Amino acid sequence: MKTRLIDGKKMADEMLDDVREQVSGLPRAPRLAVVLVGDNPASLVYVKNKVKASQRAGIRTDVYRLSPVLTQDALEAFINDLNADGDIDGILLQLPLPAHLNADAAIERIAPDKDVDGLTTHNLGRLMVGAPNLAPCTPLACLHLIKKACPKLAGKNAVIVGRSRLVGRPLGQLLLAHDCTVVQAHSHTKNLAQVCARADILVAAAGHARLIGRRHVKRGAVVIDVGINRVGDRLVGDVNRAAVTGVARAVTPVPGGVGPMTIAMLMYNTLRACRRGEAKSA
Ligand code: NAD
């Protein structure tokens, strides 16, 4: 079987251009506040990529760099101020935070209508009851890539390897909402290869380099690789792409798959938050 590579970079650029076009019809550019605590090198790269994408999408992004020794109270007070600022449409707290800070508590401070990362319990709860507000960006990115390769999702068997709050769990809810039969595998799952081999859609989000090989993939499956793992000086996914080539129908590369699409979804969520805010204040 010929295995198609799903080009996440190209699809992300298309989405950013689409957001830009929609932004041009708004009375003002949407505004995103990115809060970066400390100087984690990977976070600096992610933030730089977000700023670059926002420029393409016509979204104004302000990066607030806060001290690595900031207290929890000071961080939450800072977020409160952003919540109260009527010119700011979206707030993104760049993770991970320095170890002395409580990320969950800080995320909870973000007003749900500005929570463009979709990680507050309010927004995750909305997803859970099938009434999404702002959904998390990486699961939205996965869904977008999956739909491209597999437009009819109803009745498909989806297996997600990973059950994190950031990726696995919310993606399970999104795929359920699209009428897939969802299996959520995790570190205690027995016979992972057997479980995965039933999937029409297989999503690897374990953070374990090349965990998914040929044995895990059903012939003709769509395989989405969320993992980002550093091996030596290279970034590799959770999928051994060489091994699944010829078995899978389509697969996302790492880098160049879910990563850029996630950032494009952040811009899409910021546009949505801005539209909602405008509608409320009208
Ligand atoms: P996490 O560590 O919070 O969760 C990992 C999940 O995988 C857990 O539920 C765990 O039970 C499961 N797991 C771990 N090892 C397993 C194994 N051997 N077999 C089966 N299940 C296993 O991680 P996360 O935040 O969900 O991120 C997962 C991966 O995705 C990481 O590599 C991360 O860097 C990457 N990621 C990428 C993007 C992107 O934009 N491309 C965004 C977020 C996360």
Domain at 94, CATH number: 3.40.50.10860
Does 105 share its domain with 143?
no
Total domains present in the chain: 2
What's the pLDDT score for residue 279? Answer: 80
Using a 6 Å cutoff on CB, does residue 187 contact ligand 1? yes
Q: Containing domain of residue 253, as a range?
A: 137-259
Q: Which of 6, 92, 117, 164 to mutate to test the pocket of ligand 1 (most atoms within 8 A of CB)?
A: 164
Pocket test of ligand 1: the residue of 166, 189, 236 to mutate, having most ligand atoms within 8 Å of its CB, is: 166
pLDDT for position 193: 98
Across the 282 residues of the chain, what is the mean pLDDT of every consecutive 10-residue run?
Answer: 97 98 97 97 96 98 98 98 97 97 98 98 97 96 97 98 97 98 98 98 98 98 97 96 98 97 98 90 76
* CATH for 209: 3.40.50.720
186 lines ligand 1 (CB under 6 A): yes
pLDDT of 280 reads: 80
Per-residue model confidence (pLDDT) at position 278: 81
Does residue 159 share a domain with residue 103?
no
235 alpha carbon – ligand 1 mean position (Å): 14
Residue 243 lies in a domain: yes
C-alpha span between 18 and 129 (Å, rounded): 29
Same domain, 79 and 156: no
**Intra-chain end-to-end CA distance of the chain, in Å:** 54
Report if residue 17 sits inside a domain.
no
- What is the phi-psi region of residue 168: left when phi exceeds 0, alpha when psi lies from -120 to 50, beta otherwise? alpha
Closest residue by CA, ligand 1 atom 35: 227
Is 227 near ligand 1, meaning CB less than 6 Å away? yes
Listed in sequence order, the residues at least 6 apart from 190 whose beta carbon sits closer than 8 Å to its beta carbon are: none
Which residue from 159, 226, 265 has its CB within 8 A of the most atoms of ligand 1, so it is best to mutate? 226
Please list the active-site residues: 50, 94, 117
Residue 84, SS3? helix
Element containing residue 12 per DSSP (H, E)? helix 8-24
Q: Which residues contact 250 (CB under 8 A, 6 or more apart)?
A: 3, 4, 5, 6, 149, 150, 222, 223
Flag whether the pTM goes above 0.95.
Answer: yes
Q: What pLDDT score was predicted for residue 281?
A: 79
Are residues 146 and 85 part of one domain?
no
Point out which residues pair with 222 in neighbouring strands: 201, 250
Atom of ligand 1 nearest to the CA of 168: 26
**The pLDDT value given to residue 250:** 98
Q: What pLDDT does 253 receive? A: 98
